[in-house]
Copies of this chain bind each other. A is one copy, B any other.
Amino acid sequence: MRLKRMLQNGVVLLVALFLVLGATAAQAAKAEKKTAVVLAVFGTSHESGLDGILNIREQIKKELPGIPVRVAFTSNIIRRIWQERRQDPTYAAQHPEVPGEILNVKGPLAAIADLQDEGYGYIVVQPTHISSGEEFADLAGYVEGLNSIKTVKKRNMPFKKILLGRPALRTYGIEHEYRHDIEQVAVIVAPDVEMARKAGRALVYFAHGNEHYSTGVYLEFEQVMRQRYPGVRIYVTMVEGFPDNARLFAELKSDKTKKVLLKPFMTVAGDHAKNDMAGSEPDSLKSLLEARGINVAASLVGLGESDDFAAIFAQHVQDAMKDEGI
């Protein structure tokens, strides 16, 4: 009995809504409600690092008009910094360039749950990771846990489904060959190679990596790059994992390379790019190379600031949707 009355009330409200908005707008609203995107980024405390993130968000919005895209930061430490900033009454005034969405940024769980609460049935969680290591595994753990929620009746399920977009270089899974992803990225970074070539420098990519998952895919990417661009010497080195600096230094020496262009092979040019790669401290990659007599130029542009690279993630959102048949 209760249900019937509820439904009647609901119908009355919907009818009222139709009269207010006009049927067409309401239909559009309904269609738009179906799917939303959570862009899951490690996060950055550097305001300038936001450019890469916001650009990816824009590319996804452009490719998927009408679908909301929410940014979530996965790092608890970074999120805590932003939580402090939003309680600091002076911060917002001093940083008009920071959008409210970032100032009030949530983690992936709360971002997903808010969209669920607003009625979105399909939520695509799109990471901005380069490859699938520990952080991607953690995000997959969130998605798997949420998708495992079961209710007695199907219509009470919180979601139709949460989808997980793949990183730029995928590295496992049967739907999308990671080798195709490597090839695609190799094509897209052509301007980096061109920049190095014009400057008469070797191109050294500085990737993140990790200690716990094989980072061999970066070696494979390096090989693909070397085959595709034989005119320029190309190297990959990493914050953590292999290929590492020891190998880089040995190869540079054996190749007699004297001039390099350092570039972050990371979505965001944040702390790692500014300090670990190009900083003036003695243990930065720049300092270590200069100590070996190598002339260093550095670019501080994250991959996400390239529209073509950012579009990869928009493509991966669309692939995840297509794989699900939506």
A interface with B by C-beta (< 8 Å)? 1-3, 5-7, 9-10, 13, 17, 45, 75-81, 84, 106-107, 109-110, 112-114, 116-117, 119, 131, 133-134, 137-138, 141-142, 144-153, 156, 158, 171-174, 177-179, 211-220, 223, 239, 242-243, 247, 270-272, 275-276, 283
Contact = CB atoms under 8 A, between A and B. Distances in A.
6 contacts: A1-B283, A138-B152, A142-B149, A145-B145, A152-B173, A223-B242
Contacts of A156: 76, 138
A270 to B, nearest CB: 8
A271 B110 contact: no
Nearest to A155: B76
Contacts of A6: 45, 75, 77-78, 271
Contact of A138 (B80, B151, B178, B270): B151
A151 B141 contact: yes
- The binding surface of chain A is classed by DSSP as helix
A81 to B, nearest CB: 7
Contacts of A177: 211-212
B110 A174 contact: no
Given A149-B142, A172-B214, A212-B172, A275 B109 contact: no
Kindly report how many copies of this chain are found in the complex they form together.
4
Contacts of A211: 177, 179
Given A113-B114, A144-B150, A219-B223, 17 more contacts: A1-B271, A1-B283, A3-B77, A9-B45, A13-B80, A13-B84, A113-B113, A138-B152, A142-B158, A145-B147, A146-B146, A172-B214, A179-B211, A214-B214, A216-B220, A219-B220, A223-B243
Contact of A5 (B84, B152, B216, B271): B271
B149 A10 contact: no
Count chain B CB atoms within 10 A of each CB in A80, A113, A271, A276 and give the residue with the most.
Answer: A113
B171 A152 contact: no
A61 to B, nearest CB: 23
Contact of A1 (B149, B171, B275): B275
Given A172-B213, A174-B152, A2 B141 contact: no
Given A10-B77, A220-B242, A212 B174 contact: yes
A128 to B, nearest CB: 16
Contacts of A134: 152-153, 174
Contact of A117 (B75, B106, B141): B106
A171 B216 CA distance: 9
Contacts of A7: 77
Contacts of A112: 113
Contacts of A179: 211, 242
A214 B117 contact: no
Nearest to A221: B216
B213 A216 contact: no
Nearest to A6: B77
A172 B152 CA distance: 10
